[in-house]
């Protein structure tokens, strides 16, 4: 499969990227790891006339702590996320999630920026970013602005990013020490998108859940923030009826399409099952 | 569409060819440079038959444009044996442990296993299986591929691998 013709650009700085996007036709596309875009180009579902490669922009790389936030450059790969000691120490759910994305080869190239920016509801990082309360840093011709992950996704492949804007970094508030975490993903095989998946971050106080956030992957037109499911477990010790209520609340907001992974009813049900499993595992990991 | 001259270091040699920006790395290697060791299997970044090593990363070369690898250091299956033709530990392992039947997946398997052993010289069986989870084999059932990689890890550590092929 041969993609359509395009002109290739490899800017060396973020300001150059923004300037290029301003000059080029509106069908110019950014390429990060390329593992969503290049397959689309090979199928001619995407036929950009210009490709702007972000690989030569050093300011988009790296993971660092800044105040109470972890700043992850958009071009940080899934492989680098898995290997990051800083993330393992402060937000290990990022490693657990990255490890179930695609396969080793794809993780060497696939980036967090590419995973969250394009609005593919099958991607795993958007639900996690919603769960963590992350913020996306968007750079455009008029400067930088912040958009909360929970406000970023509008519909499949439609996001709050304006034409000409680049996602430069994600900022994740450092979860409290002793927090519980889990990402549960049901998939048919290595490399598959989730049949359903759930991310959970929670904290305990005196043996009961003090705070909780839940996000769902691939069971709707966008990643979903499951506020009601999370609220239903706060103040409890997560007994069986509470778990069942949380699972039902997650299932209730899921609107998956029927596909090769199962019927819509089955996948919505699995959103609940993944939520219950992730809650159980997060609780076991949390310390009061 | 105009051609761009794309150069990279492949198996220690500087090589170049004039290609369109849309030329995929696998086509650049196979058709422009005649390096047909890496195979095209699924052409959809699933099967791993086209895996080559680009700057220390295992890459599915059907999902990277040659221009993106300009200036990179690339290793393909053609670069695994010594200059005198002596097999690398991995190639010897695949031969001794019957790590292949039809051989179609083998170049990708070996290049992927090479990077895996560079990063983790003493992997557990489970780490090997996860490590090669982006490479499909339709013949072996993977048992002997895992053994071949264990054989190579042992040999590279100066140890003898005692298990037999199935």
Q: What is the pLDDT of residues A140-169, one digit of tens each?
A: 999 999 999 999 999 999 999 999 999 999
**Nearest Cβ partner for B20 among A5, A34, A102:** A5
Q: Does the beta-carbon distance from A8 to B130 stay under 8 Å?
A: no
Q: Is the pLDDT of residue B2 over 90?
A: no
**Residue in A with minimal Cα distance to B67:** A8
| Element containing residue A9 per DSSP (H, E) | strand A7-9
The alpha-carbon gap from A174 to the nearest alpha carbon of chain B, in Å, equals 29
Return d(Cα A129, Cα B118) in angstroms, integer. Answer: 32
What does the alpha-carbon distance between residue A47 and residue A41 come to, in Å, rounded to a whole number? 6
User: Quick count: other Cβ atoms within 10 Å of Cβ A176?
Assistant: 13
Which among A35, A103, A108 is the nearest to B57, CB-wise?
Answer: A108
Taking 90 as the threshold, does the pLDDT of residue A253 lie above it?
A: yes
Of B4, B46, B133, the CB nearest to A104: B133
CATH class held by domain B4-79 = alpha beta
- Evaluate if residue A25 carries a pLDDT over 90: no
Tell me if B134 and A35 make a contact (CB, 8 A cut-off).
no
Q: Does A108 touch chain B (CB under 8 A)?
A: yes
Rounded to whole angstroms, the Cα distance separating B66 from A113 reads 22
CA–CA separation, B162 and A201 (whole Å): 46
Q: What is the mean pLDDT of chain B?
A: 97
d(CA A259, CA A272): 18
**Model pTM score:** 0.96
B140 touches chain A (CB under 8 A): no
Nearest CA in chain B to A83: B119
Q: Mutate which of B19, B50, B65 to test chain A, going by most A C-beta atoms within 10 A?
A: B65
In the block, tokens 């490399």 appear at A191
Q: Tell me the average pLDDT across A228-244.
A: 98
Boundaries of CATH 3.10.20.30 in chain B? Answer: 4-79
Cα separation, A56 vs A43, whole angstroms: 26
Does B21 contact A51 at a Cβ distance shorter than 8 Å?
yes
CA distance A243 to A184: 15
Tens of pLDDT along A110-141? Answer: 999 999 999 999 999 999 999 999 999 999 99
Count the Cβ atoms, other than its own, within 10 Å of residue B89. 20
B40 phi and psi angles, rounded to 5 deg:
-100, 115
pLDDT, residue B1, reads 63
| Dihedral class, residue A30 (left if φ above 0, else alpha if ψ from -120 to 50, else beta) | beta
Taking the C-alpha atoms of residue B25 and residue A216, their distance in angstroms, rounded to an integer, is 36
The share of chain A scoring above pLDDT 90, in percent, equals 98
- CATH top class, domain B89-156: mainly alpha
pLDDT tens-place string over residues B98-133: 999 999 999 999 999 999 999 999 999 999 999 999
Helix boundaries (H) for B17-103: 25-27, 89-96
Whether the Cβ atoms of residue A65 and residue A87 lie closer than 8 Å to each other: no
Q: What are A179-227's pLDDT values in tens digits?
A: 999 999 999 999 899 999 999 999 999 999 999 999 999 999 999 999 9
Please say whether the beta carbons of B17 and B29 come within 8 A.
Answer: no
């Amino acid at each position: 499969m041969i993609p359509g013709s395009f002109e290739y650009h490899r800017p060396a700085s973020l300001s150059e990227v923004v300037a290029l996007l301003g000059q080029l036709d509106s069908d110019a596309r950014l390429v990060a790891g390329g593992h969503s875009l290049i397959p689309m180009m090979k199928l001619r579902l995407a036929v950009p006339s210009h490709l702007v490669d972000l690989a030569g922009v050093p300011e988009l790389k790296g993971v660092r702590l800044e105040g109470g936030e972890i700043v992850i450059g958009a071009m940080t790969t899934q492989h680098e996320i898995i290997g990051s000691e800083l993330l393992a120490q402060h937000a290990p759910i990022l490693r657990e999630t990255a490890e179930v994305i695609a396969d080793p080869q794809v993780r060497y190239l696939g980036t967090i920026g590419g995973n969250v920016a394009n609005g593919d509801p099958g991607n795993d990082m958007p639900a996690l970013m919603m769960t963590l309360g992350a913020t996306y840093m968007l750079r455009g011709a008029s400067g930088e602005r912040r958009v909360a992950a929970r406000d970023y996704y509008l519909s499949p492949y439609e996001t709050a990013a304006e034409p000409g804007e680049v996602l430069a970094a994600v900022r994740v508030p450092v979860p409290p020490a002793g927090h519980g975490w889990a990402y549960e993903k049901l998939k048919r095989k290595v490399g598959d998108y989730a049949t359903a998946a759930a991310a959970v971050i929670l904290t305990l106080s005196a043996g009961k859940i003090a705070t909780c956030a839940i996000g769902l992957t691939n069971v709707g037109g966008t990643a979903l923030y499951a506020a009601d499911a999370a609220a239903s477990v706060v103040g409890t010790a997560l007994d069986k009826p509470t778990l069942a209520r949380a699972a039902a609340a997650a299932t209730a907001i899921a609107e998956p399409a029927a596909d090769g992974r199962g019927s819509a009813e089955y996948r919505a049900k699995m959103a609940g099952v993944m939520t219950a499993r992730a809650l159980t595992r997060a609780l076991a990991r949390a310390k009061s | 569409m105009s051609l761009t001259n794309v150069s990279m270091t492949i198996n220690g040699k500087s090589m170049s060819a004039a290609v369109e920006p849309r030329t995929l790395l696998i086509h650049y290697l196979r058709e422009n440079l005649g390096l047909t060791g890496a195979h095209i299997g699924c052409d959809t970044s699933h099967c791993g038959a086209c895996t080559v090593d680009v700057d220390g990363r295992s890459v599915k070369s059907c999902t990277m444009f040659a221009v993106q690898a300009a200036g990179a250091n690339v290793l393909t299956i053609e670069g695994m044996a010594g200059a005198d033709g002596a097999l690398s530990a991995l190639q010897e392992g695949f031969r001794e442990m019957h790590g292949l039947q039809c051989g179609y997946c083998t170049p990708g398997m070996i290049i992927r296993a090479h990077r895996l052993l560079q990063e983790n010289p003493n992997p557990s069986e489970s780490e090997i299986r996860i490590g090669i989870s982006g490479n499909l084999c339709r013949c072996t059932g993977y048992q002997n591929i895992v053994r071949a990689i264990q054989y190579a890890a042992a040999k590279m550590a100066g140890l003898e691998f005692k298990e037999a092929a199935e």
